[in-house]
Chains A and B, each alone.
Chain A
């Protein structure tokens, strides 16, 4: 793994740029632990100050330091993305592996659930959840709901890979030597689908963060927990753009775009690494 990262850093420009962007965003989120202010407290600094040497990213109309507020926000947003990605990857792996390997009625049952999730329109459902639960909706709950909606495409992808692995000799030999279904899936098939899972993880994070920001900007989340979308929501509430407090909106937007581009570039370069043909292009060979 370390060698793989070193090779990617050395030979892939996309990976280098992506790694720098993601590292910057991660650094910012780590700084949240050293914030002098609590994330919820307001009017701790003079309001509406533009960026300066004292307040790097300026201050908000609610008397918060944008820099520290932003570090809390990006930390929560990233944790949200990671939670959604992790939980939905688990569901996708279990469903994909079992469905592809077992086939028959298990496959049909799982895939009919899977396909239902694919066709469900997500945004209206999430808004519906918000209106049903109102104040009880928490950060974690929203992450779990999104995870439940974010696995279906990737489960199908994993299923298709496993269906082809199932017919290969190493699976047959494993079964013949007395390996159980669980052993075949975890020992033989899981290593094969892991690269697929890695690259979909980053796409999934981009997707879930984007959706969370959308919901938060509209005010359909727990607005007291600082997130990127939550910051933009409060800025809009205080008509920041009209009042000329542009830094309140600009810095969160730039940060989340950096996170998006960084994750996207990492996913693209990881995909290129996984696909042997694009590795050939990389060294100037024909496809």
Chain B
């Protein structure tokens, strides 16, 4: 489901976010010894208007660093050392970190909003839920307070919350309600682009499904694009249109979500997909040996090669490029290029 298939306007065909060859690292210098942890290393992708773009990867694969770089939430020791992040609504700066502060303040929340990891605690425990809306969203909407309040209440109905939650403290709400209030807070300005970092990880699957459904509903209604980050492949299957797999700071595969699940190409993705349990299938799952590499000292060449069953000499020496293997299906693997199969 892509908005651009319904409305073939030229504007709609341009991606809303384009990331080009992004390099980001954490620079630390304990006891005078400089060390760079390359958490994002040469990532390129584009997100289209009205699509939900998934980003999957295990812990410490650089997902959060990547979206921090995209959101411009960069503070030392994190720094961007190369590449660019281009938003369609903020052209010409090559990323938020290079744009003037006033421009960044203007587009935040209005064009770009961010549902943080651990979003259960986005609400200040000692302030009422309503004041979070006033603090975070009101400066971006303006108008009279009465009007704003009506708008908030109308928006809360979309996530099936009563107006009374505005007068409640966060601890008086259940986890699911808090999550829905957070979702409403992130979408109240009808932003063009929403970054969601593990928004539902803390919830049980039933509430998760409900919240994800609401999120999908709001996204369809407002035509927002979403960059959805989680390690939970089940959530990706449920929500995202396209999916990128990240491993050790690099993208290894990107395709339409259904396609990745049906026909994964990269050996890492194949192991990831085959590890998912299926109902009625009680065959033992095969684990992948080894563990994710230390990003302060990553392996040479393809970062997956120490754990890859198909690794050859070239994998140890050279970094595989992200090449289009099929229609819209990109993968970074020498074995796939040569038609190898596990």
Q: Are B140 and A192 in contact (CB under 8 A)?
A: no
Q: Do B118 and A173 have beta carbons less than 8 Å apart?
A: no
> Does B122 touch A at the CB level, under 8 Å?
yes
A62 to B280, CA, bound (A): 101
User: Residue B126 at the A interface, CB < 8 A?
Assistant: yes
Cα distance A183–B136 in the bound complex, in angstroms? 11
**Cβ of B222 under 8 Å from chain A:** no
Q: How far is the CB of B99 from chain A (nearest CB, A)?
A: 13
Residue pair B140, A168 in contact (C-beta under 8 Å):
no
A177 within 8 A of partner (CB): yes
Asked whether, in the complex, the Cβ of A170 is within 8 Å of the Cβ of B122, the reply is yes
B135 x A188 contact (CB < 8 A):
yes
> Within the complex, what minimum Cβ distance (angstroms) separates A107 from chain B?
15
Inter-chain contact B135/A169, CB cutoff 8 Å: no
**A165 (CB) vs chain B CBs: closest residue:** B124
Given A169-B116, A172-B116, A191-B127, the answer on whether A177 and B136 have CB atoms closer than 8 Å is yes
Minimal beta-carbon separation of B78 from chain A (angstroms): 13
User: How many residues on A have C-beta within 8 angstroms of the other chain's C-beta atoms?
Assistant: 16
Residue A174 is within 8 A (CB to CB) of chain B in the complex: yes
**A residues 55-96 touching B (CB-CB < 8 Å):** none
B122 touches A176 (CB 8 A): no
Contacts of A174 in B (CB 8 A): 135-136
Which of B104, B136, B140 meets A173, CB within 8 Å? B136
> CA–CA, A177 to B122, complex, Å?
12
Q: Judging by beta carbons under 8 Å apart, are A177 and B73 in contact?
A: no
Q: Would you call B114 an interface residue if the criterion is a C-beta within 8 Å of the partner chain's C-beta atoms?
A: yes
| Complex contact B136–A179 (CB within 8 A) | yes
A168 with B121, Cβ < 8 A, contacts A176-B114, A177-B108, A192-B126 known: yes
Tell me if B105 and A178 are in contact (CB < 8 A). yes
A187 at the interface (CB under 8 A from B): yes
Given contacts A177-B109, A191-B126, contact A169 B118 (CB under 8 A): yes
In the complex, B71 has a CB within 8 A of chain A: yes
Q: Chain B's nearest CB lies how many Å from the CB of A3?
A: 14
A188 and B119 CA atoms in complex are apart in Å by 16
A214 to B113, CA, bound (A): 59
**Distance in Å: Cβ of B107 to nearest Cβ of chain A:** 9
For the residues of A in contact with B, the DSSP-based class is helix
Q: Which residues of B contact A168 (CB under 8 A)?
A: 121
Bound-state CA distance A168–B117 (Å) is 10
Of A169, A178, A183, A187, the residue contacting B108 (CB under 8 A) is: A178
Known contacts A169-B119, A169-B121; is A178 also within 8 Å of B135 by CB? no
**Measured CA separation A183–B71 after assembly (Å):** 21
Number of B residues near A (Cβ < 8 Å) is 26
> Given that A169-B121, A173-B114, A177-B109 are known contacts, is A188 also in contact with B127, CB under 8 Å in the complex?
yes
**Contacting residue for B116 out of A173, A183, A191, CB 8 A:** A173
Using known A-B contacts A191-B124, A192-B124, determine if residue A172 contacts B73 with beta carbons closer than 8 Å.
yes
- Shortest beta-carbon distance, B192 to chain A, in Å? 15
Q: Contact: B124 with A188, CB < 8 Å?
A: yes
What is the minimal beta-carbon distance from B137 to any residue of chain A, in angstroms? 7
Q: Residues 93-111 of chain B: 1 if any A CB is under 8 Å from the residue's CB, otherwise 0?
A: 0000000000011001100
Query: A residues within 8 A CB of B126?
Result: 191-192
**B105: chain A residues within 8 A (beta carbon):** 178
- Measured between beta carbons, the chain B residues less than 8 angstroms from A187 are 127, 131, 135
What CA separation (Å) do A177 and B107 show in the bound complex?
9
Tell me the complex Cα distance, A174–B117, Å. Answer: 14
B212 beta carbon closer than 8 Å to chain A: no
Within 8 A of B (CB), among A170-225: 170, 172-179, 183, 187-188, 191-192
Known interface pairs A170-B132, A188-B127, A188-B135; A176-B71 also in contact (CB < 8 Å)? yes
- Complex Cα–Cα for A168 and B73 (A): 14
Nearest residue, chain B, Cβ from A171: B124
CB contacts (< 8 Å) of B132 on chain A: these are 170
Mark interface residues in B160-190 (1 if CB within 8 Å of A CB, else 0). Answer: 0000000000000000000000000000000
Instruction: Flag whether B243 is at the interface (Cβ < 8 A).
Output: no
Contact A177 B121 (CB under 8 A): no
Q: What's the least CB distance linking B76 to chain A, in Å? A: 9
B123 at the interface (CB under 8 A from A): yes
A-chain residues with CB within 8 Å of residue B140 when the two chains form the complex:
177-178
Within 8 Å CB of B121, what residues of A? 168-170
Interface centre among B119, B131, B132, B140 (most CB of A within 10 A): B132
Residue-wise interface mask of B (122-144) relative to A, using a CB-CB cutoff of 8 A (1 in contact, 0 not): 11111100011001110110000
Instruction: Give Cα A198–Cα B111 distance, bound, in whole angstroms.
Output: 41
List 29 interface pairs A-B (beta carbons < 8 Å), by A numbering: A169-B116, A169-B118, A169-B119, A169-B121, A169-B122, A170-B132, A172-B73, A172-B116, A173-B114, A173-B116, A174-B136, A176-B108, A176-B109, A176-B114, A176-B116, A177-B108, A177-B139, A177-B140, A178-B139, A179-B135, A179-B136, A183-B135, A187-B131, A188-B135, A191-B124, A191-B126, A191-B127, A192-B124, A192-B125
Further pairs besides A173-B116, A188-B135, A192-B124: 20, Cβ < 8 Å: A170-B122, A170-B123, A170-B132, A173-B114, A173-B136, A176-B71, A176-B108, A176-B109, A176-B114, A177-B108, A177-B109, A177-B135, A177-B136, A177-B140, A178-B108, A178-B109, A179-B135, A183-B135, A188-B127, A192-B126
In the A-B complex, list the 10 residue pairs whose CB atoms are closest, starting with the nearest.
A177-B136, A178-B105, A170-B124, A169-B116, A169-B121, A169-B122, A177-B109, A191-B126, A173-B122, A178-B108
